[in-house]
Structure 1
Amino acid sequence: MKNLIRLGSIILLAIISITSCKKEGRPLNLNLTAVGNLASPDDNTDVVLDPTSDASVLFKWDAATDADGGLVLYEIAFIKEGGDFSKPVYKVVSDKGGVDPQITLTHKALNKIANTAGIPASSTGKLKWTVIASKGTNVKIASVSRTIQLDRPAGFAENPTELYLTGTATEGGTDLSKAVKLKQTEDGVFEIYTSLTAGDYILTDKNTDGGNQYYIENGIIKAGNTPITVSGAKKTYRLNFDFTSATSKSMEIQSIGLYMSAYGTEIGTLNYIGNSTWEAPSVDVEFYQFSWGRDERYKFIVHTAGGLEYIGSSNANNDPPAGKPASYFYLWPVTNDQWSNTYKFDPSADKANVKVDVMFKPDAYTHKVTVN
């Protein structure tokens, strides 16, 4: 009987608790008033786009009115003149994941938006923009909008997704199936570390017949099959092709140095051996003795015709390489700080001779250290 009474008491308390929760619960307040004022840029602002620069435009607006101070998310939307903001040609969340009543868009991003809206390269077009505020399922399109005029530079309406070099000046020669593939660093932007010799080459988006072809004229990428002529002695370069702005850059790479942090100097030189690879077949390594132990940190210095560039780890600090994934050895642009963004030699490299390879391949920029 006592057990029955105890069980009945528990059930009664549970019912009271549930009933109490229901009474205290409040419906979610989705009340929201649309954005009523756009602050910047001014209406009919004209922006001459330079996608290769760090230039940007700040879009800013007054916060939407929210009755209970809940979380409001914002999106900026663009349409063609005469379009419908319920069907924008492009929209993106504001800064800080949609929380801030503003967004900074680079010229490069605006150039892509203009392209999406159908504004041709090397021409001018107007877009209208406004802000969409939302709170849960309640979505409010601002009743105000502004116009922005975008002056696009030369570029391509559709960027290639792959890019190859082929021709007598290239390492793959004229055999299209052996065309040298470039690394796509971002949409429409490609890069390669390779050698060129006297001859000519062409850019193509396929290493088979029927691909689109491109050439360079005064640093500008153009569609067509006009060969690019190379003269002089064989040299190694970093070539960049940005189809979003139709621009190209070339930088001669002279050598790569193996930099050891504790000594503050290069302890070996890697020379180009082909196939986007630099190698030092034999480097003597000795860790530096500090009071706390022996230091094994290193990174690389790229010697270019334009000066020194440092490449190393994306991590500010690293552990020894044993058991680490392939990404541990990936190479990234880093600062010239003596200690930061370095790798660590395997302990077996101390007072030993090592072979070092740096590979700039389309799938990854990486390196390898082998104890001889």
Structure 2
Amino acid sequence: MKNLKTIICLLAICFVAITSCKKDERDLNESINSTGSLSIPQNSQSIKLTPANALATQQFKWTAASPEDGGLILYEVAFDKENGDFSKPMYKVVSDGGGVQPQVTISHKDLTKVAALCGINSSSTGNIKWTVIASKATNRKAGQESRILQLERPAGFAEVPTELYITGSATETGEDLSKAIKMKKLEEGIFEIYTTLKPGSYQLVDKTTSGGKKFFTEGSLVKEGTSAVTVTGSSKVYYLKYDFNVATVVDAVEVQSLGLYMSAYGNEIGKLTYASNGTWQSGNIPVVFFQFSWGRDERYKFAMHTSAGIRYLGSSNVNNVSPVGQGASYFYLNAVTNDQWNNTYKFDPSADNKNVKVLLNLNASGPYTHTVTTQ
């Protein structure tokens, strides 16, 4: 009898525990009464896009949606072609605050992508349409209101390459795409290269494997396509610079010679010869520090003679110190003015009345730099 009472008590306890673990259940209310009205930008507002300006943005705002139970609503701004119905938006972006705020700020760079997806070409103006999609759980509701936005695209690409290479029979590495020469990326969408071009043709590509995008130049414009640039005449060293933000050839000049310029003499004391892949090297160059009343002067920089005039390469420091004990950054090369004394380097004291050999590197492998070796 005692055991039976124990069993009955245990069963009673289990029943209470089970019933107490049950939670109240109710259906989730996913209803959205209203998706709110659009406020900014105004209908048919015109925006002149400047994607190269990282600070250029456009704000989109609307009134908050109204859920029946006060629950959380998330928002997306959807863009479509002018005649689209948002069933398959061309582009969507989540609102600020991870989707909870009734506003979003979109860069001109991203709006340029939207324009391209909606069929607006570079250097053209066209209309797109936008609305707000509200969602709660699995319920998504597009706004009853939509607005037209007129976008003016500048010359340039909606998506600029992250890397750029040059390839073709006119280049130093020939037509083997896997050996295409990498250009130096200066900033987003801007690339440059020092290289030899010989009779033949070349293209610009964003990959060294098949399937990448191809570009060519036509006058001062950069265009996407399979056409190639033809090179005639003798083999020459060139400096090429491209800005894909505005689809423009910024610079294309012949590099005729490169000299080691010594400030105190106001002249070049030796020449460097182009080797390959953006590098120049010298033979033995005699160095004699200039004798002033206060001491011997050892300052130098480089003079690059181009078809557009002389350009100087030197130190980022206006007034420099001795290279002894300095790190690699001391020898980094920068575009500098033609000032006789400023932004120069100093030879190692051991170079006085000796020969030096200079190696100058202007390729994409790292910072532009040079080395000076005393012989």
TM-score when normalising by structure 1: 0.66
Is residue 370 from structure 1 mapped to residue 367 from structure 2 by the alignment? no
Name the CA distance, whole Å, in 1 between partners of 2:243 and 2:295.
47
Name the CA distance, whole Å, in 2 between partners of 1:114 and 1:329.
41
Tell whether the 8 Å contact from 2:115 to 2:151 is kept in structure 1 after alignment.
no
Shift of 1:153: 2.5
1:192-240 per-position Cα deviation (integer Å, ceiling 9, x unaligned): 0000000011111111222211111222111111121111100110011
Please point out which of 302, 305, 311 is paired with 2:304. 302
Is residue 253 from structure 1 mapped to residue 255 from structure 2 by the alignment? yes
Tell whether the 8 Å contact from 2:50 to 2:56 is kept in structure 1 after alignment.
no
Shift of 1:151: 3.8
Tell whether the 8 Å contact from 2:221 to 2:247 is kept in structure 1 after alignment.
yes
- 1:78 alignment partner in structure 2: 58
Name the CA distance, whole Å, in 2 between partners of 1:80 and 1:220.
33
- 1:89 alignment partner in structure 2: 106
The alpha-carbon distance between structure 1 residues 176 and 77, as it changes in their structure 2 partners (threshold 3 A), is closer
- 1:60 alignment partner in structure 2: none
The alpha-carbon distance between structure 1 residues 262 and 370, as it changes in their structure 2 partners (threshold 3 A), is same
The alpha-carbon distance between structure 1 residues 268 and 114, as it changes in their structure 2 partners (threshold 3 A), is farther
- 1:238 alignment partner in structure 2: 239
- 1:184 alignment partner in structure 2: 185
The alpha-carbon distance between structure 1 residues 262 and 227, as it changes in their structure 2 partners (threshold 3 A), is same
Tell whether the 8 Å contact from 1:80 to 1:117 is kept in structure 2 after alignment.
no
The alpha-carbon distance between structure 1 residues 317 and 157, as it changes in their structure 2 partners (threshold 3 A), is same
What amino acid maps onto 1:369 in structure 2?
V
Count the aligned residue pairs: 270
SS at match of 1:184: strand
Query: Cα RMSD (Å) of the superposition?
Result: 3.0
1:65-95 per-position Cα deviation (integer Å, ceiling 9, x unaligned): xxxxxxxxxx9852369778831113xxxxx
SS at match of 2:371: strand
The alpha-carbon distance between structure 1 residues 275 and 49, as it changes in their structure 2 partners (threshold 3 A), is same
- 1:20 alignment partner in structure 2: none
- 2:112 alignment partner in structure 1: 115
What amino acid maps onto 1:201 in structure 2?
Y
TM-score when normalising by structure 2: 0.65
Name the CA distance, whole Å, in 1 between partners of 2:212 and 2:274.
30
The alpha-carbon distance between structure 1 residues 256 and 81, as it changes in their structure 2 partners (threshold 3 A), is farther
1:118-150 per-position Cα deviation (integer Å, ceiling 9, x unaligned): 4652223699xxxxxxxxxxxxxxxxxxxx987
- 1:345 alignment partner in structure 2: 347
SS at match of 1:240: strand
Name the CA distance, whole Å, in 2 between partners of 1:258 and 1:81.
59
Unmatched tracts of structure 1, length 5 or more: 1-43, 57-74, 91-109, 128-147
1:10-68 per-position Cα deviation (integer Å, ceiling 9, x unaligned): xxxxxxxxxxxxxxxxxxxxxxxxxxxxxxxxxx89869696xxxx9xxxxxxxxxxxx
Tell whether the 8 Å contact from 2:59 to 2:103 is kept in structure 1 after alignment.
no
Matches within 5 A, 1:162-181: 162-181=163-182
What amino acid maps onto 1:163 in structure 2?
L
Please point out which of 262, 265, 270 is paired with 2:264. 262
Tell whether the 8 Å contact from 2:46 to 2:152 is kept in structure 1 after alignment.
no
Name the CA distance, whole Å, in 1 between partners of 2:177 and 2:46.
47
The alpha-carbon distance between structure 1 residues 149 and 298, as it changes in their structure 2 partners (threshold 3 A), is farther
SS at match of 1:262: helix
Shift of 1:365: 1.0
Is residue 153 from structure 1 mapped to residue 170 from structure 2 by the alignment? no
The alpha-carbon distance between structure 1 residues 117 and 177, as it changes in their structure 2 partners (threshold 3 A), is closer
- 1:355 alignment partner in structure 2: 357
Name the CA distance, whole Å, in 2 between partners of 1:48 and 1:282.
54
Unmatched tracts of structure 2, length 5 or more: 1-44, 63-76, 78-94, 96-101, 129-148
Shift of 1:308: 0.9
- 1:281 alignment partner in structure 2: 283
The alpha-carbon distance between structure 1 residues 355 and 226, as it changes in their structure 2 partners (threshold 3 A), is same
1:276-295 per-position Cα deviation (integer Å, ceiling 9, x unaligned): 11122121101111122111
